[in-house]
Amino acid sequence: MPALACCVDAAAVAPPGYAAFIAGDSSLPSAVPFSASTADAADSNSTHWSPAHSSALYRIDGWGAPYFSVNNAGNITVRPYGTDTLAHQEIDLLKIVKKVSDPKSVGGLGLQLPLIVRVPDVLKNRLESLQSAFESAIQAQGYESHYRGVYPVKCNQDRFVVQDIVKFGAPFRFGLEAGSKPELLLAMSCLCKGNPEALLVCNGFKDAEYIFLALLARKLALNTVIVLEEEEEVDLVIEISKKLSVRPVIGVRAKLRTKHSGHFGSTSGEKGKFGLTTIQILRVVKKLQDSGMLDCLQLLHFHIGSQIPSTALLQAGVVEAAQIYSELARLGADMKVIDIGGGLGIDYDGSKSGNSDLSVSYGLQEYASAVVNAVRFVCDRKSIKHPIICSESGRAIVSHHSILIFEAMSATAPTTPAVNQVDLPFILEGLSEDARVDCWNLSQAAMRHETETCFVYADQLKQRCVEQFKEGTLGIEQLAAVDGLCDLVSKVVDASEPARTYHVNLSIFTSIPDFWSIGQIFPIVPIHRLDERPEVRGILSDLTCDSDGKIDKFIGGETSLPLHGLEGNGGGSSGGANGRYYLGMFLGGAYQESLGGVHNLFGGPSVVSVSQSDGPYSFAVTRAAPGPSCGDVLRVMQHEPELMFETLKHRAEEFCGQDHGNEGTHAALVSTIARSFHNMPYLVVASPCSLTAMNNNGFYYCNEEDYNAAVDSGASEDEQWSYCYA
C-alpha cells in the first residue's frame, strides 16, 4: 500500500498536518495542529560546533586579524594592541555591551543601543603600523628623506577620534588634512596640540574665506599647505597672502592620467572632479613666477581614489606624479613634499584580492614599499633630491577602531503555514471543480516526492483560489487555509528554508549609509553565541519605514547571513546576554558616521570609548555619550522640542485635565511625553520604567516614583561619564 508507506515515511520528518494531507485521509480529525519539531533534531548537533568553526564561517581571521577574534566562550574579542596583544588583554565585546546597557541601578551606564564602541588603542596601532611600514621601506631602500602622513578628517571628524590621532601621531609629526572650512577650523584647533612640524593640508574647493583661514593658520605657526584644486584659487592665494603679508606654502593637485577604474576611482583620470590639468599646472607656475612666489610652490598632490585595488596601479600613479614633481622642481619651484593622497585599502571580506572594491591585494608594508620604490626610482633618474613622502590615508587608519553594535529584536517565524492547521475537508468544500483537481494532483505529486510538480500544482491551486476569492465565491478563511496548505507543502517538499528576516534596532540610513548608497559591504557577525552552530539564515531589516532599509548582501557574495535562532537565546551558552541577540558591524570607522542622515528621524548611536585595563574585567569605559534624543533629531529639522512639549502639555490639560480624581494620570501623561523627547528614537525592549508601568484608563504610563527615581539617578543629566571603570 504505497500511500501508507509514504505516509509513514513523510510523518517521520513532516508535520502531522502534512501526513494527513498526502494520505488523503479526510476521516482524520478535521483540524490537525501543526507543530514544528524539526529544530530539536538540529539542536543535538550544536555540540559539534566550536568557536573556531564560527571564526572560519564568518571569515573573522580574514578581515579581522589582528584586531578581532573569537574567545572560548564564543564571544568576539577585541585585541587592542594587534599582534602584540596578550591573551589576558583581549576585550570581550559582550561584556562591554552589558556594562554599557545595564541600568545604572546595577552598575551599568544605562545607555541605549545601537552603540558604537571605539577602541583608541586600535586607532593608535593602525597609525603606528602605517608609520613603521613607511619607515622600514625607507630604511630598506636607502631612501633619503622621511614619511610624514596626514589624516583626512572627512573620514571621521569625531572630536575624540581627531584629537587621539593628533596625540598618537605627535611623536612622528603626523598631521591632518581638511577639505572644507569647518574641517579646517577643527584641524587648526586640534593641531595646536600637535607636533609643530605636522602638516596641515588644505584640500577641497576654496573661497576667499577658506584661503584667509589657511593663511591665518600659517601665522599661527601651523605648518599649513594650501593645495590648489582649481586654477582660480591661485589668484586668491596671491592676493590674500599679499594683503596679510604671509608667505604661503602652496601645493598643486594634479589630475593624473593614471586611472583607477573601481567604484572609488571616478575622481581619477583627466576628467576627474578635482585637480589641475598639465596645461593649468603650467599656467599656475607662470602666475607664481610673475608674482615672485614660485618658491612658495612646495608640494605636489594627487589622489586617485579610495580602495586602490593593487600596488601596480598605485605605482603607476606615483611614478606619474613623481615625474610631475621632478618637472616642477626643474621649472624652479622649491619642491619638498610629494603627497600621494589616500586610497590605501581595507580588506572588507578577507579575500586579499584586488578584484572588487571589497578587498585589496596588498598589506600596509607592500603599499609603503611600492610608494617609496616608485618615488625613489623617478627622482634618482632625474637627480632630484628625495622628497618628504606624505599620504592621506583615512579609511586605513580609522576603519578598524570602531564597532557598531545593534540588537536583533525579532525575526520572521520559520516558514510555517499561514494558518496553523490544515483542515482538508474545509478547504475542499468551497473549491471549484478545477481547484479540487489541482488539490488532488498536488497530493499525488507530494506522495511521489516530485518537487517541481508540487510547486506547479500548488501555484495553480493558489491562483484559482485567488480568482475565486476576487469573484466572491471563496471566503477569507478558506483562502487562508489554501495558502497554509501550499506553504506546508513547499516546506516539506523543499527542505531548504528561505532566509528569515531579522528586525534590527537600527537605521541603515544613519549608521551604514554606504550600504544603501553605494552597495558597500561590511562584515557583520553576531558578537556572541559563536560556540553554537548558527541554524538559520537571515537578512537584516531595519526600523525605518523604507524598503531600502535592509541588508541582504554580505561578504563572500552571500545574500543571507548565518544566524542563531532568537528563540534559543538565553540558554546556558549565550552567557550574560539575557536572551538578547547582538550583532556587530565591523570596519565601519570611516565615512559611515558623517555620511549618515536622519531618515525617519533616527539619530546616531550611543558612543563609548574603551581601553584595555588590567583590572578584573580587562577593560575600562573611558568615555560615554548617549546618541541624539528624539528632541535632538527634531531640532535638526527645525522643530522646537520645548514648544512642541508645551503644545502637547496644554492639549493634555484641555482634554485630560478635567478628568477629576485622576490627577496622577494627567501628571504621568505629561511626564511620559517629556520623557519621550528626552529618549533616543530607537526601540526600548525593557527599560526599568516600562517594566513597572501600569495600564490605567487606556494610558500607558510610568509609576511616577519610578520615573522620578530614574531622573534622580541621572537619566536626564548631561550624559557624559568619565573614567567609569568596569
Ligand X SMILES: *Cc1c(COP(=O)(O)O)cnc(C)c1O
CB of 302 to ligand X, least distance (A): 9
Piece of 234-242, 342-350, 513-521, 572-580 that binds ligand X (CB under 6 A): 342-350
CB of 136 to ligand X, least distance (A): 20
- The span from the CA of 481 to the CA of 422, in Å, is 7
- Cell reading at 207: 573661497
- The span from the CA of 59 to the CA of 352, in Å, is 12
- The span from the CA of 528 to the CA of 421, in Å, is 36
- Tracing cell 612640524 back to the chain, one arrives at 197
Q: What share of the chain is helix, strand, coil (3-state, %, to 5)?
A: 45, 15, 40
List 62, 120, 149, 152, residue binding ligand X (CB under 6 A): 152
CB of 344 to ligand X, least distance (A): 5
**Interaction mask 286-305, ligand X, x per CB under 6 A:** -----------------x--
DSSP E strand stretches across 340-464: 388-390, 402-411, 421-422
**Catalytic, out of 545, 656, 689, 724:** 545
Closest listed residue to residue 25, CA positions, set 7, 12, 13, 11: 7
- The span from the CA of 611 to the CA of 86, in Å, is 14
CA separation, residue 459 to residues 303, 357, 475, 497, 656 (Å): 55, 40, 19, 18, 54
DSSP E strand stretches across 598-709: 606-612, 619-625, 694-696, 699-701
Beta carbon nearer to ligand X, 337 or 431 = 337
Beta carbon nearer to ligand X, 91 or 590 = 590
Beta carbon nearer to ligand X, 225 or 577 = 225
596 binds ligand X per the rule CB under 6 A? no
Residue nearest to ligand X (CB): 342
192 noted as active-site residue: no
Q: Where are the alpha helices (DSSP H) in 14-119?
A: 16-23, 38-43, 51-57, 60-64, 93-101
Piece of 323-331, 392-400, 471-479, 649-657 that binds ligand X (CB under 6 A): 392-400
- The span from the CA of 175 to the CA of 586, in Å, is 26
- The span from the CA of 593 to the CA of 158, in Å, is 9
Piece of 56-64, 112-120, 337-345, 464-472 that binds ligand X (CB under 6 A): 337-345
**Site for ligand X, residues 571 to 590, rule: CB under 6 A:** 590
Beta carbon nearer to ligand X, 167 or 263 = 263
List 376, 395, 580, 666, residue binding ligand X (CB under 6 A): 395
CB of 676 to ligand X, least distance (A): 38
The crossing angle, in degrees rounded to 10, of helices 364-382 and 120-140 is 40
Region of residue 223 (left: phi > 0; alpha: psi -120 to 50; beta: else): beta
- Cell reading at 639: 522643530
Beta carbon nearer to ligand X, 67 or 264 = 264
Piece of 45-53, 148-156, 329-337, 594-602 that binds ligand X (CB under 6 A): 148-156
**Site for ligand X, residues 399 to 458, rule: CB under 6 A:** none
Yes or no: say if 302 and 256 are a contact pair by the CB < 8 Å rule. Answer: yes
Largest CA distance in the chain: 104
593 binds ligand X per the rule CB under 6 A? no
306 binds ligand X per the rule CB under 6 A? yes
Q: How many residues are listed for the chain in this entry?
A: 726
Beta carbon nearer to ligand X, 118 or 301 = 301
Q: What are phi and psi of 102, to 5 degrees?
A: -60, 145
Yes or no: say if 676 and 701 are a contact pair by the CB < 8 Å rule. Answer: no
List 73, 138, 155, 427, residue binding ligand X (CB under 6 A): 155
The dihedral sign for the CA sequence 100, 101, 104, 107:
negative
**Site for ligand X, residues 624 to 643, rule: CB under 6 A:** none
532 binds ligand X per the rule CB under 6 A? no
Tell me the sheet residues that pair with 30: none
List 101, 241, 393, 592, residue binding ligand X (CB under 6 A): 393
Piece of 340-348, 486-494, 552-560, 579-587 that binds ligand X (CB under 6 A): 340-348
Beta carbon nearer to ligand X, 404 or 458 = 404
- The span from the CA of 494 to the CA of 58, in Å, is 26
Tell me the three state secondary structure of residue 585.
Answer: strand
Piece of 390-398, 576-584, 606-614, 617-625 that binds ligand X (CB under 6 A): 390-398
341 binds ligand X per the rule CB under 6 A? yes
List 120, 169, 317, 343, residue binding ligand X (CB under 6 A): 343
- Cell reading at 167: 596625540
Beta carbon nearer to ligand X, 175 or 342 = 342
List 392, 407, 532, 632, residue binding ligand X (CB under 6 A): 392
**Site for ligand X, residues 88 to 147, rule: CB under 6 A:** none
CB of 151 to ligand X, least distance (A): 9
Q: How many residues bind ligand X (CB under 6 A)?
A: 16
CB of 224 to ligand X, least distance (A): 16
**Site for ligand X, residues 189 to 228, rule: CB under 6 A:** 203
CB of 256 to ligand X, least distance (A): 13
Beta carbon nearer to ligand X, 3 or 595 = 595
Q: How many C-beta atoms surround the C-beta of residue 533 within 10 A?
A: 19
List 169, 394, 538, 688, residue binding ligand X (CB under 6 A): 394
Radius of gyration of the chain (CA): 32
Piece of 149-157, 357-365, 489-497, 701-709 that binds ligand X (CB under 6 A): 149-157
Distance of CA 73 to the CA centre of its chain: 25
∠ CA 506-509-510 to the nearest 5 degrees?
Answer: 65
Yes or no: say if 322 and 375 are a contact pair by the CB < 8 Å rule. Answer: yes
- The span from the CA of 672 to the CA of 334, in Å, is 66
CB of 391 to ligand X, least distance (A): 8
CB of 329 to ligand X, least distance (A): 22
344 binds ligand X per the rule CB under 6 A? yes
Residues of this chain that bind ligand X (CB under 6 A): 152, 154-155, 203, 303, 306, 341-344, 392-396, 590
Catalytic residues: 545
